[in-house]
Chains A and B, each alone.
Chain A
Amino acid sequence: MHDAAQAGPGAGPAFPEIREEVAKLCARYPSAYWQKLDREGRYPSEFVDELTQAGYLAALIPEEYGGAGLPLSGAAAILEEIQRAGCNGAACHAQMYVMGTILRHGSEAQKRQYLPRIASGELRLQAFGVTEPGSGTDTTSLRTEARRSGDRYIVNGQKIWTSRAEHSDLMILLARTTPRAEVKKRTDGLSLFIVDMQAAKNRGLTIRPIRTMMNHSTTEIFFEDMEVPAGNLIGEEGKGFRYVLSGMNAERILIAAECVGDAKWFTERSASYAGEREVFGRPIGQNQGIQFPVARAYADMRAAELMVREAAALYETGADCGAEANMAKLLAADASWAAAEACVQTHGGFAFAEEYDIERKFRETRLYQVAPISTNLILSYIAEHVLGMPRSY
Chain B
Amino acid sequence: MKVLVPVKRVIDYNVKVRVKADGSGVDLANVKMSMNPFDEIAVEEAIRLKEKGAAEEVVAVSIGVKQAQETLRTALAMGADRAILVVAADDVHQDIEPLAVAKILKAVIDEEQPGLVIAGKQAIDNDMNATGQMLSALLGWSQATFASELDIDGDHAKVTREVDGGLQTIKVKMPCVVTVDLRLNEPRYASLPNIMKAKKKPLDEKTAEDYGVDVSPRLEVVKTAEPAERAAGIKVADVDELIAKLKEAGAI
Contacts and interface: CB of A to CB of B under 8 A. Distances in A.
Nearest to B69: A1
B229 to A, nearest CB: 12
Given A17-B77, A20-B34, A21-B77, A55 B70 contact: no
Interface string A1-39: 000000000000000111011101100000000000000
B216 interface: no
Nearest to A69: B196
B195 A21 contact: yes
B74 interface: yes
Interface in B162-206: 189-193, 195-196, 198
Contacts of A59: 192
A350 B173 CA distance: 57
Given A16-B70, A17-B70, A17-B77, A55 B193 contact: yes
B192 A53 contact: no
Nearest to A272: B16
A278 B231 CA distance: 13
Nearest to B192: A55
A58 B193 CA distance: 9
A53 B191 contact: yes
B82 interface: no
Contact of A54 (B74, B191, B196, B232): B191
Mostly helix, strand, loop or mixed at chain A's interface?
helix
A220 B190 CA distance: 37
- Scoring B34, B74, B190 by chain A CB atoms within 10 A of each residue's CB, the highest score goes to B190
B46 to A, nearest CB: 18
A54 B195 CA distance: 10
B192 A17 contact: no
A54 B70 contact: no
A68 B195 CA distance: 10
A21 B189 contact: yes
A276 to B, nearest CB: 9
Interface in B29-58: 34
A56 interface: yes
A54 B77 contact: no
Contacts of A55: 191-193
Interface string B57-83: 000000000000010011001000000
Contacts of A20: 34, 74
B74 A18 contact: no
Given A17-B195, A20-B34, A21-B195, A54 B189 contact: yes
Contacts of A53: 191
A85 B73 CA distance: 22
B196 A21 contact: no
Contacts of B74: 17, 20
Interface residues of A, number: 18
Contacts of B193: 55, 68
B73 A17 contact: yes
B138 to A, nearest CB: 33
Interface string A212-229: 000000000000000000
Contact of B192 (A24, A54, A278): A54
Interface string A41-85: 000000000000111101100000000101000000010000000
Contacts of B73: 17
B72 to A, nearest CB: 11
A56 B191 CA distance: 7
Contacts of B70: 16-17
A34 B68 CA distance: 35
B34 A18 contact: no
A273 to B, nearest CB: 14
B56 to A, nearest CB: 25
A152 B77 CA distance: 47
Contacts of A16: 70
Nearest to A63: B196
Contacts of B34: 20
A18 B73 CA distance: 11
A116 B232 CA distance: 55
A213 to B, nearest CB: 31
Given A17-B73, A20-B74, A68 B192 contact: yes
- Scoring A17, A22, A53, A278 by chain B CB atoms within 10 A of each residue's CB, the highest score goes to A17
A16 to B, nearest CB: 7
Nearest to B35: A20
Nearest to A26: B189
A20 B34 CA distance: 9
A52 B77 CA distance: 17
Contact of A68 (B77, B196, B198, B232): B196
Contact of B189 (A24, A58, A70): A24
B189 A18 contact: no
A198 B47 CA distance: 40
B191 A18 contact: no
A68 B77 CA distance: 14
Interface in B191-239: 191-193, 195-196, 198, 232
A58 B192 contact: yes
A54 B191 CA distance: 4
Nearest to B232: A278
Nearest to A28: B189
Contacts of A17: 70, 73-74, 77, 195, 198
Given A54-B192, A56-B192, A78-B192, 11 more contacts: A16-B70, A17-B70, A17-B73, A17-B195, A22-B189, A55-B191, A58-B192, A59-B192, A68-B192, A68-B193, A278-B232
3 smallest A-B Cβ distances: which pairs?
A24-B189, A55-B192, A54-B191
16 contacts: A17-B70, A17-B198, A18-B192, A21-B191, A21-B195, A24-B189, A53-B191, A54-B190, A54-B191, A54-B192, A55-B191, A55-B193, A56-B192, A59-B192, A68-B193, A78-B192
